[in-house]
């Protein structure tokens, strides 16, 4: 679907929407409610002490899934179940129903003829703000096709509806699984919206046409692709991915992704156009519940295929989520990557040297960390229990000159 033209009559609505997104005006979708804030403790790292607070509110984001975005002094939280919140941490208030909710088809999924069982309901995976434009990606069950579809949508200029920009083919599998991927990143200086789609565990289903989909260029599953926002076309960029839940462009233009392996073998990859990252034929993980190499039960890969090695792999698994590049937070962190994790419940600071990770510093937070963003001198983290964490440099620093 091509980009909708900007009509003159929408200019006033666009300006109002931009002001609401950045906090220049109050948003009138719903009354504001108070946020409860708890100071957790000071977390000391190798080079800086951190002061952490946890923020919660009634009827907040659902457990598991979801994402966050930052615009000015506002934090926008996309709940995994399709609701949206506008959070003003400075004032200690939150606004529910700040954007129109998305029906993910979760209730209808129970009546599916195709999916006899499912591990999780469909989720919102990411939210991205670009000026007055708001993008979301999510998996959605459609009863009309009895299929799961991956979707990218943009908020209409009036702020009341979502316009579908991309809808994948239906998921061909006997069950709906957790290998979803789903992360957005806008390439600087272009109108290319990059996105990840997980392989949906299609390596399990070898009797279906989409079996081993991550290695099949014509299918969306297990890929990094981009949507050209000027002409609406989707272009495949790399393949051979399992469950890429982190995606970011570095200052030097490189694209970095984090993805889940199976039992071990979580990866940090530098994504290059046309690269094949190996899944499911190559992994540092093992078969679940055993010590067997994961690929030991698969048919051999096609002859002559070259696979790209990760720049870093975690063994055992940490379950990585979003990855961001640090800017202006601390001199010793400048340009480093910060990675959230679910299983490890830890932030990892990754020191990059070219295409090599020199070390990974663990910063335990004892919470499943679904998404993170830097907002000036503050790190904002969405947990899998629906709370927000904010981490700042300790106002009474322990670090010495």
DSSP 195-229: EEE--TTTTS-TTSTTTTGGG-TTS-TTEEEEEET
Res 26: pLDDT: 53
- Structure-block tokens of residue 258: 């984090």
Helices (H) and strands (E) in the chain, counts: 2, 28
Stronger pLDDT, 339 or 398, i.e. the higher one:
339
Please, are residues 373 and 324 in contact by the beta-carbon 8 Å criterion? yes
Euclidean distance between CA atoms 49 and 363, whole angstroms: 11
User: What pLDDT, on a 0 to 100 scale, did the predictor assign at position 177?
Assistant: 78
pLDDT at 380 over 80: yes
The reported pLDDT for the residue numbered 399 is 44
The span from the CA of 136 to the CA of 242, in Å, is 21
The percentage of the chain sitting over the pLDDT mark of 90, rounded to a whole number, equals: 75
The three-state secondary structure class of 97 is: coil
pLDDT at 103 over 90: yes
Query: Is residue 321 pLDDT above 90, yes or no?
Result: yes
Q: Report which of residues 391 and 118 the model is more confident about.
A: 391
Nearest to 245 by CA among 344, 346, 126: 126
Query: Which of 37-51, 113-127, 313-327 ranks highest by mean pLDDT?
Result: 313-327
- Backbone Cα Rg of the chain: 21
- Kindly state the tokens that stand for 244: 């890429």
Tell whether pTM > 0.85. Answer: yes
Residues of the chain with pLDDT > 70: what percent? Answer: 91
Q: What is the mean pLDDT of the chain?
A: 90
pLDDT value at residue 398:
47
Residue pair 370/22 in contact (Cβ under 8 Å)? The answer is: no
pLDDT score for 17: 67
- Cβ count near 396 (within 10 Å): 7
Overall average pLDDT of the 266-279 stretch? 98
Q: Which two tokens mark 301?
A: 């890969």
Which of 33-47, 167-181, 257-271 shows the lowest per-residue confidence on average (mean pLDDT)?
Answer: 167-181
Alpha helices in 128-249 (DSSP H): none
Residue 346 has pLDDT above 50, yes or no: yes
Distance of CA 264 to the CA centre of its chain: 20
Rounded Cα distance, 326 and 363, in Å: 15
Structure tokens at 191: 């109108």
pLDDT of residue 2: 38
């Amino acid at each position: 679907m091509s980009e909708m033209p900007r009509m003159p009559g929408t200019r006033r609505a666009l300006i109002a929407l931009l002001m609401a997104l950045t906090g220049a005006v109050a948003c009138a979708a719903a009354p504001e409610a108070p946020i409860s804030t708890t100071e957790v403790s000071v977390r000391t790292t190798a080079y800086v002490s951190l002061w952490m607070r946890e923020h919660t509110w009634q009827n907040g984001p659902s457990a598991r899934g979801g994402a966050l975005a930052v615009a000015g002094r506002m934090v926008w939280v996309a709940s995994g179940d399709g609701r949206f919140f506008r959070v003003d941490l400075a004032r200690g208030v939150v606004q529910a129903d700040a954007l129109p909710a998305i029906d993910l088809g979760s209730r209808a999924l129970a009546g599916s003829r195709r999916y006899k069982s499912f591990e999780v309901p469909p989720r919102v995976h990411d939210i991205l703000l670009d000026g007055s434009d708001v993008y979301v990606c999510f998996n959605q069950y459609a009863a009309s096709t009895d299929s799961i579809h991956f979707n990218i949508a943009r908020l209409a200029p009036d702020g009341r509806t979502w316009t579908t920009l991309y809808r994948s083919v239906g998921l061909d599998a006997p069950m709906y699984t957790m290998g979803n991927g789903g992360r957005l990143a806008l390439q600087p200086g272009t109108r290319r919206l990059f996105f990840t789609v997980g392989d949906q565990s299609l390596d399990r289903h070898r009797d279906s046409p989409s079996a081993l989909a991550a290695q099949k260029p014509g299918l969306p599953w297990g890929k990094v692709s981009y949507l050209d926002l000027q002409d609406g076309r989707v272009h495949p960029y790399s393949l051979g991915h399992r469950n890429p839940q982190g995606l970011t462009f570095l200052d030097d233009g490189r694209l970095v992704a984090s993805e889940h392996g199976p039992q071990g073998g979580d990866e940090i990859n530098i994504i290059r156009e046309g690269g094949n990252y190996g899944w499911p034929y190559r992994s540092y993980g093992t078969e679940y519940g055993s010590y067997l190499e994961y690929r030991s039960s698969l048919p051999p890969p096609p002859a002559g295929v070259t696979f790209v090695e990760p720049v870093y792999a975690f063994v055992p698994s940490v379950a990585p989520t979003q990855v961001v590049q640090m800017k202006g937070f601390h001199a010793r962190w400048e340009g480093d990557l910060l990675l959230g994790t679910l299983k490890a419940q830890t932030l990892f600071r990754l020191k990059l040297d070219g295409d090599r990770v020199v070390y990974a510093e663990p910063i335990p937070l004892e919470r499943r960390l679904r998404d993170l963003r830097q907002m000036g001198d503050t790190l904002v983290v969405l947990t899998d229990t629906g709370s927000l964490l904010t981490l700042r440099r300790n106002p009474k620093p322990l670090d010495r000159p």
